[in-house]
Structure 1
Amino acid sequence: MNTFLMTYQNFNVILFIYLCVNDFHYAQVWDIVEKYDTGCTPGGGKDGMSVFYDAGLLFESNTASGTPYRQVSNYKEKLQRDCCLDGMRDTLLSYTCERRVEYIVDGETCAAAFLHCCKDMENQRADSKVESLQLARSEEDDNSYIDSNEIVSRTKFPESWLWSDITLPACPGRNPCDTTSLTKDVPLQDSITTWQFTGISLSTTHGEDSESNLALFLSLKSSLSLFLYVIPFYCPSHLKGICVGDPLEVIVRKEFFIDLRLPYSAVRGEQLEVKAILHNYSPDPATVRVDLIEEDNVCSSASKRGKYRQEVKIGAQTTRSVPFIIIPMKEGEFRIEVKAAVKDSSLNDGIMKILRVVPEGVLVKDPKIVILDPTNKGVDGEQEEIINSGIAKKDLVPNTPTSTQISVTGREQVSALVENAVSGNSMGSLIYQPSGCGEQNMYHMTLPLIAATYLDKTNQWETVGFQKRNEALQHIKTGYNRELPTGKRMGLLLRFHYAKLTAYVAKVFAMANNLVAVQTPHICEAIKFLILNAQQPDGIFKEDGPVIHGEMIGDVRGADSEASMTAFCLIAMQESRTICAASVGSLPGSIDKAVAYLERRLPSLTNPYAVAMTSYAMANENKMNREILYKFASPELNHWPTPKGLVYTLEATAYALLALVKAQAFEDARPVVRWFNKQQKVGGGYGSTQATMMVYQAISEYWSSAKEPEYDLNVDILLPGRAKPERYNFNRDNHYATRTSKINDINQNVKVTAKGSGEATVTMVSLYYALPKQKESDCQKFNLSVQLIPEKMDEDEKIYKLRIEVLYKDKERDAAMSILDIGLLTGFTVDTKDLDLLSKGHARSIAKYEMDKVLSDRGSLIIYLDKVSHTRPEEIIFRVHQKMKVGVLQPAAVSVYEYYEQTHCVQFYHPERKGGQLLRLCRDDECTCAEENCSMQKKEKISNDQRTAKACESTQTSKIDFGKRA
C-alpha cells in the first residue's frame, strides 16, 4: 500500500504578498480573493489533480506528480504591490498589457510590476479556458432517464389496415377433422386507439347440412405485449359455407404515451404552436423529460442544437400538454418528432408525424391556347409561334415554385376529364360532386357516361386503357341503381313530379341503355309522364315545378323558355324513340305536336340558346332551318354566343353542332369543333356537368360521322435551355394523342414550329402562387361578407363565430345551386355540431357540407347551397375553434360561386386584420430561422489540435471567420 503525505493551507499562495501588510484584515483578503476569482472549472474539476488545484491546495505524493507549484513575485514596496494589483484587474478595454503600460506615469519599477502581473493574470485566464468550456456535469449525463437515442418513435397511423386473405390448410390425409389451423403473426400499428377486427370465412363444405359455429383465434403482437383474441363466427345453414364473424374491438394503449397534435397543413413562414399531449396512466405522478427533435427547414428551439429539452411534471392518471413553437421555412413535407422519458422509470414514448407546408398565396393555373394550322395560318406551309406566360412578377409570391406545362394534342382532343371521369377521380376543374339527393346522384352517373359514350364512338379506349371501360360501366351501373325503387323506397328520382328533371333522367337513361342494362319501363314511364302531365294540346311542354340543380337542364328557364322547355322534352323523347315506341303508343303523335309548335315558334325566337336547342330538335326530324340558326352565330361562324355567359354559350354551341352533324353539314361543323378545342378548362371539362355532357355528345357525333381531310402534321417544340427541339408527328393513327413537356419556370419563350397538313392544339399552362387579392370586379355575381367574431377567449382555446352573408346580384332570379368554399386558418377546426344543425331538419339553411382536401392544398370546408336569394342576404354562421396558437397567422379565403356559372367572388378573413392582409416576419423577400444564425456552444470535448485544424479549414460549406478579440 502506498503512503502519502498531504498538507493543505487555506489560502492560495499568491495571496501571501498581502499578508505581510499589517493594515490588511483577514476579511479584506477574502473580499479581494472573491473579486479576482477567475471562476475556472466549476463543479468537480476536469481531473483528480484539478480538484486540489482549483481549491488552492497543494498535493504531494510519493507516487504521483502532485499539483504544480505556483510561481509568484514578491513585491516588497507598496507602490510595486499596488501596480501589480492594477495589472491583475480586468478592464472593458480591448488594449493589450503592453498598450496599458504606456499609460503608467509612476516610473519604470511600477511599469515592470504592472506588466508582469498583467501578463501573468492574462495567461491564467487563458489557461482556464483551454481544455473545456463546461466541465460540470450536465443534463446530458443524467442517468435517471432513458437515453433519447434509444427511444423508438411511432410513425404509422393508418385509418384501416390488415386487408388479408388466409387459406387454411386442408385436413391431413383428406380425412375429416374438427380443427385446422394456420399461424400468422400480425404486428399492430403505432396508433393508440381502438381497432375493430372483422372476418368472413368461406368454405366449400362447411355449413351444408346444419347451422354450426367456427372460431378464429387472432394473435396480435405489439411492442408492448402479445394479445390473443377469439372471434366467434356464426354460420347459418342457408348461406352454404359462409361464416361471418362478430366485430372484435382491440384497445391498444401504453401506460405512458404522447399524442402529437398537428394541423392538416401550415403555410410557409407561419409561426404556430404544436402541442405534445402527455398521457400518464400510471398510478404514480411522474417527472418527464421531453425532447423536440431538430428538423431541417423547421425553425424551432431545437434548431442547430439537435434537440430542445425540457422537464415537466405530470400527475397520476392525468394528461398534460407541452407546447412547442415552430416556423416552417420551406414548402414541402417535414417531420415533427417528439420523444419523452419518465424519470427513474422505463416508461417512454416517441412520436413522429408529417407536417405538410404549403406556400403563401393561392395556386393559379393560367392557360394559353394556340391552334396550329400551317396550311391556313402559316407562311409557305410553315407556322411558327412564340408562346410566353407573360405573368407579372408583382403577382407572384416570392420564393415559391413555378412551372410550365406544354402539351400538344392532335386535331381530336381526349382531355384529362375523360380519363378522370372513367376512373372516378376528381373531375379537374369541375367541383367534386357527392352522392346524396337524386339530382346530385345523377352527376356520378353522367360523367362516366359522357366519357364512355365518347370513347366508344371514337374508338379511343386505347388512350386511357382498355381496362378502364369496365370501371366506367361500373360507375354507370352504380348511379343507375341508386335511382331505382327498392322495396318501399321509391327511388331517388323516379317519382316523376317535375317535367324538366324527368326529361333529363329519360335522356341520361336512354344514353346509358347503349352501355349497360337499363330496364325499359324506367325510361318509358318517364316518357309517359311527360306526355300525360306536361304536354299541352298545342304541343307545348309546360311546368312550374322547381329544379334545385338548374345546371342540369341548362338555360331552359331563360328567355323563350316555353320553346326551350318544349325542345328539351322533345329531344328526350326523340332519343328514347327506338326504346319506347312499342310501349308508348302516343309517342309519335306527341313528337309530331311538339315539332309543329317549334316550327311555328322558331322564326320569332330571340334567345340564341333556345334557337340552337330548337334547331337540334328540328334536325332530328329533318326540318332544320340553317338560315335561322346562323342568324345567331358569331361573325366567325364557329360558335353561338349567349348573353348569360360562357357556360350557356358552350351548351348552345353544342346543340348547334349536333344540328349541323344531323343535317350532314360537316364543312360547317368543322370550325365549331376547332372552337371547342380552345375552350376546354385546365384538367378537362367545360364548366358544368350539362355543358360538358352536351359538348362531348356533339363532338363524339361529329367524329363518328365526319370525314376529315388528309392529316400528316409535324410539330417541333424548342424549350428554353435546350439545344434541340422535341419533335412530334400527328397522323390518322394518332390524331387523338397528346404529347407533354414541362419546365420548372414561367415567363420563358417556347418556340413552336408546325409543318404539313392538319391541325393541332398547343396548350401552355403556367402554375404559380399568387398573392391574395380581392377587387370589386371579382364579385360580379355575388355580394359576400365574412366576419370572424370572438366568442370565448380562454388561454387554452379560443372560439370564434364565422359569419358569412351572401347575396346574388341578379335582379330577376335567385342563384341556383351554389358553392361556398371556406378556407380554414391554420390551427382552426370547425364545429360540426353547428353545421349539422344548419344542414338537417325541415328548415335547413344549407344542403350539405363536407371537409375537402382535394380541391384545396390547405384543406377547406365546402358548403352546398340549394339557392342564394337575390332579394335578401343568406346568412351562414357557425363556430370555429382555435386549437393551436399561430404567431404570424396567414389569412384564409372564402369564395362563393354558382355551380353553373363559376365566376368566383372571394373575400379573406383573419382574427385581427380586416380583409386578411398578409403580414411577414421577414426582411424583403428573405425569411430565416432566428435560432439558426446564432453560434451554439459545442458540448463535446475538443482538443487544441482539433481547434487548430478547424481554424485553418476553408471549404465551400465551412469557412472560419476571425476577430481581433473573442
Structure 2
Amino acid sequence: TATSDGGKWNNPVSRIHLRAWTSMSGRYLHISIPSEKFECSKNTSILFYHTKLRNHPEGVTFYYQVVSGHQVVDKGILSPRRSWDDIAYRIPLDSSSSSMRVSGYSVSEFSLTVKPSWGLSPNARLMVYYAHPNGEIIADAVPLEFKPCDSNEVLLSFAAKSVQPGTPATLSLSAAQGSVCGTWALDQALLQKTAEAEFTPEKLLKLLTPLEAKPNRPTVLKGHCVLSEENWHFAGPTLFLDSAAAFAESSVQVITDMKINVRPCWEDGGMWTPEHGARVGIDDGGDGEIADLAPATTVPKSAVDIRSHFPETWLWELRHIERAAPLNLSREIPHSVTKWKAGALCLHPTRGLGMAADTVNAVQPFFIQLSLPAVAIRGETIPITASLFNYLRSCIPVKFGLIVDASCLKLIGSPQKRFCLCSEDTVSLRLYARSDCLGQLNITAHALGLSKDDSICEPGSVTETRTARDSLRKSLHVLAEGTPREKSVSEYVCLKAPTNSTGSRRFILKLPGNAIHGSSKGVFTVSGDILSPVLASGLESIVKLPTACGEQNLAILATNVVVLDYLISSGHFNHPLEAKLRRNILTGYEQQLNYRHPNNGYSAFGSADPEPSLWLTAFIVRTYGKARQYVSLDDTELSLNTQWLLGHQYDTGCFPSVGRVLNSQLKGGIQGTSLSPLTAYVLISLLEANATLSPHVQETAVQCLVEESAQEQDSYSLALHAYALALLRHRNAQQTFHLLWSRGELEADGTLHWSRNVSSAVAVETSGYAILSCLTLHKEAGVSLALPAVQWLLKQRNHRGGFISTQDTVIAMQALAKYAKMVVLPDTRLTLTVSSQHMEPRDLHVEPANAMLLQEMPIPILPATLELNVTGKGCAFVQATAKYNVPAPTNTNNFDLLVEPSHTACKPKLKLCASYLLSWGMSGMVIIQVHLQTGFRFSRVIDDLEVKKIEEEMNKVNLYFDELSNRRTCVTLVLTQEYEVRDGLPTAVILQDYYDPDMIVLRNYTIPTCERDQQNIVDTQLPLQSDVVQQSVPSEGAHLSNFRNIDQEPDFPDGPEANLPVTVPAPED
C-alpha cells in the first residue's frame, strides 16, 4: 500500500534476486520444506524433487545429513524404489549461452521424515546429495527452523490465577528428575519499562545461535574459475549456483576427486559467495517501508495491616528436583497490586535445558497506589501522588490521607480528604513534601471506608455496607547535600609484656569547617586481627570506587584469594567466610573470561579494546596462579596466558607496554620512557604464580632491571625492583632493599612510609611492596623491621578495610596478610576502655574466641576526642572513623570538566566535556560519576565513542574512560524527567583518576525548567480547586465504549476546557 509522508508518496518496493542452479550433467535436486516451523518431537515429512537418470533404471543412492552447531546430529541413506511414478513436472532452463541450454527432464519426488529434538540448535541445516555416474556431485541444502524445543519438559503453574497481595501463593514446578531449576518472577510494570528484563525461550534460542558454524567460502579448485585468494573479496556475484554452494552453506568442507564446482565462469571474475547464495532472497535496499505487524464478590480489606513490601523482582530460588512428582512452593506474594510473570529454567545432565512460565495477578478491589521519588536531597520539595481505586460494586464514603513525621517532612497541601468513591472510579491526592531530615523517611497512605456516613455520597446511590480499608507505606531516602567524605584514625596497639600491662591512646576526630550540618556520624571499631575489618565487610565493599571493568573485577577476585590464603595458612579452618570466598573466586573467574581476547590476552574492557593489555594479563597470571591452590581453575588457560606474556619479552629482557596500561605509575615515570617498572611487575606476577621460567627468561629480565636500577629511580619503581629480586633471591636483592629502606620517611610516631611527591594511592602501594620485599628477604627476622611500615599502612585503611583504589588495596592486603601470618598471637587478652566528653566509658574485650570478629560502637557526637585505655597482653587493631559531607572537594589542576545541562522541548540532556591538562599527554583510567538530580532518571548516552563502559546505580551513572588527553572528549546523557521537584538542589558531576583518586574535579549542575509550549505553560498556571483529582477507570472490555461517529463538526467547549484566549499586542507607533 502506498503511503503519503508530508505530501510525498512512498511506493513500497521489493526486490528479489533469483539465481539458477547449474549442473554439467543437467541433473538437479531440490528440497522443499514447509513454511511453518517444525514442532518438537513431531515427525515431519520433507519432500525432495530430483531429475531422473536416463539409462540408469536401478536408480541412485541419496545421502543426507543434518548439521547443527559444530556437528552432524543425524545422517542416513535413501534409496528410492523404481516403482515411484514420475510427476508432470518439468524444469525449464533458458540461457543465452548454448552450453548452458538444458532440455526438460522427468522429475521424481520422494520424502524424508525428520523428528526435531532438543539437541538441534535453531539454525540447523539439512543437506542431501548423490554421486552422478559421470563423476559429478548433485546436492542441495536448506535451513531448518524449529519452534522452541525442550526434551526436559518443565511445567510451572500457580494454583490460583489471582491472589491477594500479602497472602501465600502456591507454585507448582515439575521437571525431569535430577534437574536443577532456577525460578524468578518479574513485576509487569518493570517489563513495561525494560522489556529486555524478561528471559524467554526465544532469547534462550538466540543464545545458542552464536554456537553455529559460519558458512564457508566454496572450495576454489585449481583449473576452475582461477581466482587468487587475495582477490576473493572483490569477486562479484554470479547468476548461477552449484553443489559447492550447498556444502558451503552447511559449513561442510569437501575433500573429493569428483566435480562440485561446475558453475560458469565470467570474465569479471564473478563467483558465488555465501552472502549471495540464497536460492531466493529479498533485497533490503528497497525504497519502501516495512512495518512491524502485531497481530465478583471481593474482600474489601487488604490482607496485611500496612502494605510495605514492593520489590520489582521476586521468587529468586534454586531448587533440586529430587522426585518425579511436582514440587509445590508456597511463598507469600509481595504487596504490590500487579501482574507477576514467573519463570523457571531447569538443567538436567542428560535431558538438557527446559523452560516454563506462568502469571499470577495480585489484586484486591480497594487499594492505594503511592508515587514518589526513591531518593531526594534534604531541602528539596518533592511531589507525592496517592491514588485510590475502587473496584467494588458500590459507592463508598471514604476518608483518604497521608501520614508523615511532621518534624522531618513538611506537607504542602491538605493531607486528608473525604469524598464518595463509586465503583470503577479512582481519586488522586496530589501534594508536595519538603524533607528536613536525613535517612529513610516513611510516608504512609490510609484509606478507610465510612460505612455509617451517608452524607458524603449522593442520596439514592448504592453504598457499601462493609468497611473497606487499605494502608500503604513507602520510604523516601533523603541524602545530605554535598559530597560524602570520611576520615579514619587507626593504630595497631601491642602490649608485649609477659604479664598484664597498660597503655593509653588518644584519637581526635575533627570535622572540617565546611562540613554539612547533620551529615556527620562516627564509629569506633576494634579487632584482634588486622584482617578482621575485611572479613566483616564480606569483601563486597572493600573497594570504594565503582568496579565494573576487567581490572576492577580482577582486583576484587585477587583480594578474595589473599584473604582465603590467609585464613587457611593461619589455621582458621572452617571459617564461616571460607565457602563464600571460594564461591566468589569461581564467580570472579567466570566473569573475568568476558574480558579475554582470542589470542589469550586480557584487557580492561574485553572486545571493546583493540588489543590485550600486557599489564592486565600479568595481573591475571598472578591471580590465577594463586587461586588454583584453593579452587579448580583451567590450567590450560593459565598456561596460554603465560605463553602470551613471554611471547612479548624483548631480547633485552624487558617487557614492553602492549595495550592499555591503566595504572599510569607503571608506564615508567612522568614521560613513560622506562620499561623497568612494567618488567618488574610482569616478573613478580610470573614468580608468584609459580610459572615455569627458563633461565634465559629470568636472567635477561633481571638484566633489564639491573641496568635500569643504575639510573635514578622513584621509590615506587625501586620497591617493585626490590620485591622482584627478593623473590628470585638474587645477589643484588639486599643492596636494592637497603637502598629502598633508606628512602623511607620516619614519622614522629615511629611509622615509616614512602610518600614523598606521590599520591596517597601510590604511597600505599609502594609501602605494600616494601613490606613484601622485607618479609620475603628476611623471613621472621623481618617482622620487627617491617612493623613501622605496617603501622603506617594500617593508619591509611578506610572503614571498610580497604584503602584508596584497587591496585593499592590488593598489594596492601597482600602485605598485611603476609605479615599477619608471621605474627600469630593466640593468647591475646586485652580490655579496651573507650570514653569521650559525650560518651560514657565502655569496655571492649579482645580474646582468642573473638579475635577474628570486628567489634563496633557508634560515636554519638562529632567532633570528638576519644580516650582509649588498654590493659592486658597481645595486639589489637583499633580505628575511629568520621563520615561527613562537604559542599565540594578541592579541585586539582590535572583535569578540566565542562557540564552543560539543557531542557529544550522538555527533553533533558546533560553534556559533559573532559580533558587532561598536563602537558605530557595521557592520563590513566578515568571515571566520571554523574549524580542524577532528584526526579530524573538516566535513559541513554549519545556520542559515546570514547566511553568504554556505562554503569547505573541507584541515583548515579558511572562513565568509564580508559584515558583522557589534552583534546576535549565530550559525551551527552539523555535523561527522563519522572517527577517535577520544586526547589531542586544542584547535583554533582565528579571526574576522578581511578588509580589516583586525589586527582579530582567536581562541577555542580542544575537542569533548567522545561521550556514548554504556550499551551502547557497556561495549563500549569490554572488554579486548582482541590488537591483531589477524580476520574473514571474503564472496566475490562469497556475500552472506548462511549465512542461515537458523528457527521458534523463538533462545537468548541465552554468553561474551563474552552480554547485559551489569544491576546495580540497593539503595533508600536
Q: Could you say which TM-score interval applies, normalised by the shorter chain? A: 0.5 to 0.7
CA distance, structure 1, for counterparts of residue 759 and residue 357 of structure 2? 55
Q: Which residue of 1 aligns with 2:790?
A: 673
Deviation at 1:505, TM superposition (A): 1.4
Letter in 2 for 1:717: V
3-state secondary structure, aligned to 1:604: coil
Match of 1:274 among 378, 384, 388: 384
Residue 160 of structure 1: aligned partner: 313
Deviation at 1:459, TM superposition (A): 3.5
Residue 469 (structure 1) shift: 0.8
Alignment of 1:787 onto 2:900? yes
1:574–1:591 Cα contact (<8 Å) kept: no
1:365 aligned to 473, 483, 486, which one? 486
Change (3 A) 1:351 1:720: same
- Kept after mapping to 2: 8 A contact 1:484/1:492: no
Match of 2:402 in 1: 293
Q: Are 2:514 and 1:395 equivalent residues in the alignment?
A: yes
The answer to whether structure 1 residue 561 and structure 2 residue 674 are counterparts is yes
Q: Does 1:863 align with 2:959?
A: yes
Name the residue aligned to 2:1026: none
- Whether the aligned pair in 1 keeps the contact of 2:383 and 2:431 (CA below 8 Å) is yes
Equivalent residue for 2:976, pick from 835, 856, 881? 881
Q: 556, 573, 580: which one pairs with 1:471?
A: 580
More divergent stretch after superposition (520-529 vs 610-619): 520-529
Match of residue 512 from structure 1: 627
CA shift, 1:274, in A, is 1.7
Residues 786 and 907 in structure 1, CA contact (< 8 A), matched pair in contact too: yes
Partner of residue 767 from structure 2, selected from 637, 653, 676: 653
| Partners of 1:483 and 1:749 in 2: CA distance | 45
Rg larger in structure: 1
Contact 1:426–1:432 (Cα < 8 Å) also in 2:
no
Paired position in structure 2 for 1:600:
707
Partner of 2:869: 753
Q: How far off is 1:800 after superposition? A: 2.5
**Alignment of 1:629 onto 2:740:** yes
Identity %: 20
Alpha-carbon shift at residue 611 of structure 1 (Å): 1.0
CA RMSD after TM alignment: 4.5
Q: Please report how far the alpha carbon of residue 319 of structure 1 lies from its aligned counterpart in structure 2 after TM superposition.
A: 8.5
Helix, strand or coil at the partner of 2:433: strand
Query: Which one-letter code corresponds to 1:850 in the other structure?
Result: E
Q: Secondary structure at the match of 2:314?
A: coil
Q: Secondary structure at the match of 2:524?
A: strand
CA contact (8 A) 2:903 2:909 kept: yes
Cα deviation digits, residues 925-956 of structure 1 (max 9, x gap): xxxxxxxxxxxxxxxxxxxxxxxxxxxxxxxx
1:905 partnered with 2:1001: yes
| Aligned partner (choices 926, 935, 938) of residue 827 of structure 1 | 935
TM-score (normalised: structure 1): 0.61
Letter in 1 for 2:950: Y
How far off its partner does 1:656 sit? 1.8
Q: Do the aligned residues in 2 keep the contact of 1:804 with 1:875 (CA within 8 Å)?
A: yes
- State the partner residue of 1:176: none
1:186-226 superposed Cα distances (whole Å, 9 cap, x missing partner): 76544233312235789xxxxxxxxxxxxxxxxxxxxxxxx
Aligned partners of 1:262 and 1:355 also within 8 Å: no
1:404 aligns to 2:512 (yes or no): no
> For residues 900 and 801 of structure 1, what CA distance do their matches in structure 2 show?
29
SS of structure 1 residue aligned to 2:903: strand
Conservation of the 8 A alpha-carbon contact between 1:720 and 1:748: yes
CA deviation profile, 1:222-243 (whole Å, cap 9, x unmatched): xxxxxxxxxxxxxx9953xx99
CA positional deviation for 1:329: 4.3
Superposed CA offset, 1:472-512 (max 9, x none): 11111122234459999777839984432222211111111
Q: 1:651·1:691 contact (CA, 8 Å) conserved in 2?
A: yes
Structure 2 counterpart of 1:450: 562
Instruction: Mark the CA change 1:261 to 1:551 in structure 2 (over 3 Å): closer, same or farther.
Output: farther
* CA deviation map 1:751-800 (0-9, x unaligned): 122456665443211234x4x4236x4334332233322213xxxxx542
Residue from 596, 618, 640 that aligns with 1:503:
618
Structure 1 segments unaligned to the other structure (5+ residues): 1-145, 171-178, 203-235, 793-797, 854-858, 914-966
1:710-721 alignment runs, 5 A limit = 715-720=832-837
Which residue in the other structure is 2:947 paired with? 846
Tell me if structure 2 keeps the 8 A contact 1:157–1:190: yes
- CA-CA distance at 1:269 after TM superposition: 3.8
Paired position in structure 2 for 1:194: 339
| Match among 537, 544, 547 for residue 430 of structure 1 | 544
CA distance in 1, matches of 2:415, 2:302: 11
Q: Distance in 2 between matches of 1:906 and 1:527?
A: 41
1:381 Cα offset (Å): 7.4
- Post-superposition Cα deviations, 1:673-703, rounded to whole Å, max 9, x if no partner, equal 2221111122121212211111122222233
Q: 1:633 and 1:487 mapped to 2: Cα distance? A: 39
CA–CA separation in structure 1 for the residues paired with 2:303 and 2:814: 64
Output the amino acid matched with 2:743. F
Question: How much does 1:616 deviate?
Answer: 1.1
SS in structure 1 of the partner of residue 336 of structure 2 = coil
Pick closer, same or farther for the CA change 1:820–1:484 going to 2, 3 Å.
closer
Alpha-carbon displacement from aligned partner over 1:616-647 (angstroms, at most 9, x marks no partner): 11112223113322343224582223533121
- Give the 3 Å change call, closer, same or farther, for CA 621–838 of structure 1 in structure 2: same
Q: 2:859 aligns with which of 743, 746, 756?
A: 743
Greater per-residue helix proportion: 1
SS at structure 2 position matched to 1:395: coil
Please give the secondary structure, in 2, of the residue aligned with 1:388: strand
Q: What is the CA distance between 1:539 and its match in structure 2?
A: 1.6
Give the superposition deviation at 1:612. 0.9
CA contact (8 A) 1:555 1:648 kept: no
Match of 1:617 in 2: 724
Q: Is the 8 A contact 2:831 2:843 kept in 1?
A: no
CA drift at 1:454 = 2.9
1:227 alignment partner in structure 2: none
For residue 401 of structure 1, report the CA deviation from its aligned partner.
Answer: 6.4
2:829–2:845 contact (8 Å) kept in structure 1: no
Farther-moved stretch of structure 1 (271-280 vs 558-567) = 271-280
Query: Contact 1:454 / 1:697 at 8 angstroms: preserved in 2?
Result: no
Q: 1:201/1:300 Cα in 2 relative to 1: closer, same or farther (>3 Å)? A: same
Residues 778-833 of structure 1, C-alpha deviation per residue, up to 9 Å, x if partnerless? 334332233322213xxxxx542222222233322333222222222222222x1x
More deviation, 811-820/672-681: 811-820
CA apart distance, 1:847: 2.3
Give aligned pairs, total: 677
- Take 2:806 and 2:404, find their aligned partners in 1: how far apart are those partners? 46
Contact 2:390–2:421 (8 Å) recurs in 1: no
**Structure 1 residues 165 and 470: alpha-carbon distance in aligned structure 2, compared to 1, 3 A threshold:** closer
Report what 2:473 is aligned to. 353
What corresponds to 1:762 in structure 2? 878
Secondary structure, in 3 states, of the residue corresponding to 2:509?
Answer: coil
Distance in 1, matches of 2:361 and 2:948, equals 37
Separation of aligned partners in 1, 2:967 and 2:907: 28
Q: What is the deviation of 1:263? A: 0.4
Deviations 1:369-419 (A, max 9, x none): 34546789xxx9754334332325x53444x36543222344x51143344
- Map of 1:61 onto structure 2: none
8 Å contact kept, 2:375–2:934: yes
Q: Does the CA-based 8 Å contact 1:148-1:339 persist in structure 2?
A: no
SS of the equivalent of 2:904 reads strand
- The Cα shift of 1:570 comes to 1.5
Change (3 A) 1:293 1:629: closer
The secondary structure found in structure 2 opposite 1:196 is strand
